[in-house]
Amino acid sequence: MADGEAAGRVRSIIVPEAAAGSRVDRIVADVTGLSRSYAQKLISAGHLTHEGRPLRASDVVGGGERLELFVPAAAPLELTPETIELSVIYEDDDILIVDKPAGLVVHPAPGHVNGTLVHALLGRGTAYGGIAGVQRPGIVHRLDRDTSGLLMVAKHDLAQASLMAQLKARRVKKTYLALVHGSVAAAVGRIEAPIGRDPKHRTRMAVVPDGRPAVTGYRVRERFPGWTLLELDLVTGRTHQIRVHLAAIGHPVAGDPVYGTGTSRRGPEGLDRLFLHAWRLELTAPSDGHLIRATAPLPADLEAVLEALRRSSVDRPEVTAR
């Protein structure tokens, strides 16, 4: 990937034999860890060549072919650093893992031009990877504004490429905690349902036949009258995946203003936001390959909701998973 040099960098890509006959934009994304949309942008700009000939995103190539990809250096960042307190759970020379509070937007977007996690990161005075673009320094994944919990940030391009490749290969284990409406019957389960844009509401996601494959595993952690606390393994990482999948099986996340209705949307007494928390991360360190585990305990506001539910229960609920 781009290594911070002003002129960018050319990377050689050997097409895997198993990928023979596939579109080159998919091959580039799979081999490099870049998003497919960014790979397509580079290809459209003429930055992918085979024996000196520019390729199109839809071209197919044989296994073993050598491609050359030019990744331009990141443009100068024009964001103003801000002093925003962050809870850093883990940090080394390659990455840091922060515990994002609910309400904090990850990166600038229309309507959120300042006060984001990116502004807070820049305020720390640390350099970050530029692969994902100037508005997302070091960012490799995101959490919704109202979701709290763990988020990885890369300090340089090689680390960012490693994290993006791990995410694409599903080697990062992301576990969430969610309080959902109703009693989930099975103690352990797996939801496999494709997710795409809701054809009736384009600002929402939904389970749709032509959506992208999506898989969510779950385990019941604790039961309450009318509610269930789940641990959820995010096997894939589609937009709003957990919220869409749980709503699709009739157990929307408590406090969800988009996919919940009635009681589930209001949530139990004392809840004033989405009860969804990125609780645990497991990944491989970019430099030496050791296993990194990070955990962020439930924020005080969500823990208080659970304590109230426990007090209101006639019988102490059994914790079924830890």
| Helix, strand and coil in the chain, % to nearest 5 | 20, 30, 50
Identify whether 82 is part of a domain: no
Identify whether 318 is part of a domain: no
- CATH number, residue 38: 3.10.290.10
Tens of pLDDT, residue by residue over 255-277, are: 999 999 999 999 999 999 999 99
Identify whether 76 is part of a domain: no
How many other CB atoms sit within 10 Å of the CB of residue 205?
A: 23
pLDDT at 4: 39
Q: Is the dihedral of CA 50, 52, 53, 55 positive or negative?
A: positive
Tens of pLDDT, residue by residue over 222-237, are: 999 999 999 999 999 9
Q: Which range of residues forms the domain containing residue 39? A: 9-71
Q: What percent of the chain has pLDDT over 70?
A: 91
Query: What does the longest C-alpha to C-alpha distance in the chain come to?
Result: 73
Are 96 and 56 found together in one domain?
no
Q: Place 30 in a pLDDT band, splitting at 50, 70 and 90.
A: confident
**Rounded CA gap, 287 and 197, in Å?**
37
Task: Name which residue leads in pLDDT, 110 or 268.
Answer: 268
User: Could you tell me if 208 and 215 are in contact, meaning their C-beta atoms sit under 8 angstroms apart?
Assistant: no
Task: List, in sequence order, every beta strand (DSSP E) within the chain.
Answer: 9-14, 48-50, 53-54, 66-71, 87-91, 95-100, 148-154, 173-181, 188-192, 195-197, 205-207, 215-224, 227-234, 276-284, 291-295
State CA 316 to chain mean position distance.
34
pLDDT at 136: 82
User: Could you tell me if 247 and 256 are in contact, meaning their C-beta atoms sit under 8 angstroms apart?
Assistant: yes
pLDDT at 315: 52
- The count of domains in the chain is 3
Are 191 and 303 found together in one domain?
yes
Provide mean pLDDT across the span 285-301: 96
Are 238 and 188 found together in one domain?
yes
**Rounded CA gap, 168 and 158, in Å?**
15
Provide mean pLDDT across the span 41-56: 92
Q: Report the mean per-residue pLDDT for the chain.
A: 89
Put simply, whether the predicted model's pTM sits higher than 0.85 gets the answer no
Identify whether 41 is part of a domain: yes
Identify whether 260 is part of a domain: yes
Are 132 and 190 found together in one domain?
no
Tell me the catalytic residues: 144
Identify whether 320 is part of a domain: no
Q: Place 5 in a pLDDT band, splitting at 50, 70 and 90.
A: very low
CA angle 240, 243, 247 (to 5 degrees): 135
Q: Which residue has the tokens 């139990």?
A: 268
Provide mean pLDDT across the span 273-285: 98
Are 38 and 101 found together in one domain?
no
Domain boundary among 104, 137, 168: 168
pLDDT at 74: 60
Identify whether 321 is part of a domain: no
Of 58-62, 79-83, 160-164, the least confident: 79-83
pLDDT at 18: 81
pLDDT at 314: 60
Does residue 221 register a pLDDT over 50? yes
Question: 125's torsion region: left (phi>0), alpha (psi -120 to 50) or beta?
Answer: left
Are 125 and 230 found together in one domain?
no
Tens of pLDDT, residue by residue over 202-215, are: 778 999 999 999 99
Most confident of 18-22, 50-54, 72-76: 50-54
Are 177 and 272 found together in one domain?
yes
pLDDT at 317: 47
Tens of pLDDT, residue by residue over 119-134, are: 999 999 888 988 777 6
Task: Name which residue leads in pLDDT, 138 or 4.
Answer: 138
How many other CB atoms sit within 10 Å of the CB of residue 206?
A: 19
Are 196 and 122 found together in one domain?
no
Are 145 and 261 found together in one domain?
no
